Structure 1
Amino acid sequence: MTSVSFTLHPRLNADCIVAGDWPLSRLLLMNDSRYPWYILVPRRNDVREIHELDAADQTQLFRESMILSRALAQAYKGDKLNIAALGNVVPQLHMHHIVRFTTDAAWPSPVWGKHPAKPYSEGEALAQIERLLPRLELPLMPLRTVAPAVTPPADQ
């Protein structure tokens, strides 16, 4: 763990609801109820690419991604799970995990920019996180601070 305070990119802070922390990553729920969409953000400042993490952090990120992927598969039984670390808009390293269904609003295209986000109500966001929690093989550490208010995400 680093002793330097971690800062979440303002765009991720505005577009997402914080679910909690794992040893390396902060787990976020994208505030778009059209898709079960979670994001892992390694809590390392000034890192843009996976190869910039040290070997131990790379291994931990992969482990956390696989734990999240299995939990999403169990919780949602989607047709496909899209995992991406693009960083074209938000330079801070983050990995999208998006459950896709052949019946979803953007299928088979990528979700980015296809439709305006449909924000969760506060209760719906909490229900999505609670749906995932019992399926996670690694418990999340709750944050001491309150997660940001549920607000509509900006266009991806």
Structure 2
Amino acid sequence: MNDFTLDKRLAADTFPLADLPLSQVLLMNDARYPWVILVPRHASISEVFELSITDQQQLWREATQLGEAMKTALGGDKINIATLGNVVSQLHVHVVLRRHTDTAWPAPVWGNGKAEPYDLNGQAQLRDQLLALIDGLDI
């Protein structure tokens, strides 16, 4: 995990939340959805298969446990977990809480409308909720 540097676009579009055993956790700056991004702290990795089997399993544990915690605590209808990387090649995993009432439902969130940046209160409130969830994970 030496020489890890977060992609500039990810850094510009997110707020740092915490570090899990493998991944840096970021909050996407889009108030329409509770949306976190996990970025494995490895330099020059763009695909899941480039991780060791152990790190692949750890990444999946982190994404699924955080997704389950978000769905339960924040009251969602569906969790979307995806790696796209067409714009940002650095390996990152989106974990997005979806609700039947959200602006894009049932379509994907990617490329659907314009992001609505958080105000300071909204970002701080969700940040605190997510940090509490992350602290409660057993990964």
**CA distance in 2: counterparts of 1:79 and 1:138, whole angstroms:** 20
Normalising by structure 2, what TM-score? 0.92
**CA distance in 1: counterparts of 2:72 and 2:128, whole angstroms:** 13
Cα deviation digits, residues 95-129 of structure 1 (max 9, x gap) = 10111111111111111121111001233212112
Aligned to 2:43, which of 42, 45, 62?
A: 45
Cα deviation, residue 134, structure 1: 2.4
SS at match of 2:30: coil
Runs (5+) with no aligned partner, structure 2? none
Runs (5+) with no aligned partner, structure 1? 140-156
Cα deviation, residue 50, structure 1: 0.5
What percentage of aligned pairs have identical amino acids? 50
Tell me if structure 1 keeps the 8 A contact 2:67–2:95. yes
In the alignment, which residue of structure 2 is the partner of 1:149? none
Tell me if structure 2 keeps the 8 A contact 1:85–1:93. yes
Tell me if structure 1 keeps the 8 A contact 2:22–2:59. yes
1:138 paired to 2:137: yes
Count of aligned residue pairs for this structure pair: 138
**CA distance in 1: counterparts of 2:79 and 2:64, whole angstroms:** 11
Return 19-28 or 68-77, whichever deviates more: 68-77
Q: RCO (CA 8 Å, sep 6+): is it higher in 1 or 2?
A: 1
Aligned to 2:62, which of 61, 64, 68?
A: 64
**CA distance in 1: counterparts of 2:131 and 2:8, whole angstroms:** 25
Aligned to 1:31, which of 29, 32, 35?
A: 29
- Please tell me the residue identity of whatever aligns with 2:66: L
**CA distance in 1: counterparts of 2:127 and 2:86, whole angstroms:** 27
Normalising by structure 1, what TM-score? 0.83
- Please tell me the residue identity of whatever aligns with 2:120: E
In the alignment, which residue of structure 1 is the partner of 2:121? 123
**CA distance in 1: counterparts of 2:80 and 2:137, whole angstroms:** 21
